[in-house]
Amino acid sequence: MFPEYNDYENTHDKLEKMPLYLKGREILDLVRTIADLIDDENEHLGWTKKLMLEDVYMLTAKIAAAEGGDLYDIRMENVAIIRKSAMSLKLHIHSLRDFGFEHTDYYQMVRDRIEEYRLLFIDWVTGFDKTNYIADRWGLFNPPGVSPFDEPDESDGDFNPDWMNDFFDDDDEE
C-alpha cells in the first residue's frame, strides 16, 4: 500500500514524470519570476508576494503528499488544499494590479497555466482508487457511498483504530 522507504527514488521519478506535477513546476517557475519583479518596499505587494509563493509551492508539495499517502481520504485532503491554493493564486495575481504592480503581461500567463493545471488535475483525481481508504469520521473525504458513521474495516488487520486505547489499557493492568 505505501511505498517502501528505499523506494523513494522510484516515487520521486514517478512525480517528475507526472504531467500535473510538471505543470505545477512550470507555474512555480513563472510565479517566482513574477515575485522577483515585486518591490518589497511596497508593504501590500510584499504581503501579496509572500501569499503567492506559499500558494504556488502547494501545487507540487501536495501532489507529492497525495501520491505518497496513496489512501483515497489522504489524497482527497491534499486535493482540497491544492484547489484552494490554485484559486487563491489567481486572486493574488489580480491583487497585484490593485497594489500597483506594473508587469500586467504576467496576469494572463498565470491564469492560462492554472487553467491547464486544472484540466490535468481533474484527470488525476478521477484516477484515484476509491477502494483504498480509511473512513473519514468528519465525512469530508470519503469515497462515494462511504458514510462517516460506517464501522472501520478491520479485515485486513493493518489498521487498528483503537490502538491508543489498547496502549493505555495495558498500562492500567500493571
Helix H, strand E, coil C: the string for 89-127 is: HHHHHHHHHHCCCCCCHHHHHHHHHHHHHHHHHHHHHHC
**pLDDT tens digits, 46-90:** 999 999 999 999 999 999 999 988 899 999 999 999 999 999 999
Per-residue cell: 146: 462511504
- 158 pLDDT higher than 60: no
Entry pTM: 0.80
Q: What is the four-CA torsion angle of 10, 15, 18, 22, rounded to 10 degrees?
A: -140
**CATH number assigned to the domain covering 5-172:** 1.20.1440.60
- At residue 61, the pLDDT reads 96
Say if CB 72 and CB 144 are below 8 A apart. Answer: no
Q: How many CB atoms lie within 10 A of CB 159?
A: 11
Q: How many CB atoms lie within 10 A of CB 26?
A: 14
**pLDDT tens digits, 125-137:** 999 999 999 999 9
Say if CB 85 and CB 150 are below 8 A apart. Answer: no
Q: Which amino acid is at 158?
A: D
Let me know how long the chain is: 174
Angstrom distance (rounded) from CA 72 to CA 28: 26
Say if CB 10 and CB 107 are below 8 A apart. Answer: no
**pLDDT tens digits, 141-154:** 999 999 999 876 65
Mean pLDDT of 101-113: 92
Mean pLDDT of 105-122: 95
